[in-house]
Structure 1
Amino acid sequence: MLQDDLGAAKTSEWTEELTYRLINHRYEHLRPTLITSNLTTDALRAALGDRVSSRLAQMTERVTLDGGDRRRTRPVV
């Protein structure tokens, strides 16, 4: 599973529950998961809730990538 930009979707009870079910299924079945997000750990917890954040903390290794935003730079012509 590749979750691109976790926490970017508008939060609702439905999205929170669906995200929990997906993450929990992968957690329980020891499935490899790569997740990207522009949010901090605290912001993810606020956006996704404690259940999802708890699973993510247990099943992931955080890797911080530093660098410029390629979408905001002008392409070289």
Structure 2
Amino acid sequence: MYDYSELKGLLAKNNSNMSKLAKQLNVSKPTIYKRFAGKYDWDTNQINKICKLYGIEKNEIPKYFFSESVKQGLTFRPA
């Protein structure tokens, strides 16, 4: 599962949110929420449009769309 906290932070920095993004991409709010929850994948057209809207450079795409999430609360205990 991917972590979209950087993308959420970028939206907030630009006085935007998931609802506004849904309108900008011409998709429903539930669709956007499911994309952020990892239930739907982003398609390349949406990624490209978000990059144009929010000034994301091509080399920054992995930071916003493909960062692996880290499960918290897990502790390594050697045997």
Q: Same fold (TM over 0.5)?
A: no
Give the shorter-chain TM-score range: under 0.3
Structure 1 length as normaliser, TM-score?
Answer: 0.26
TM-score (norm. length: structure 2): 0.25
More strand by share: 1
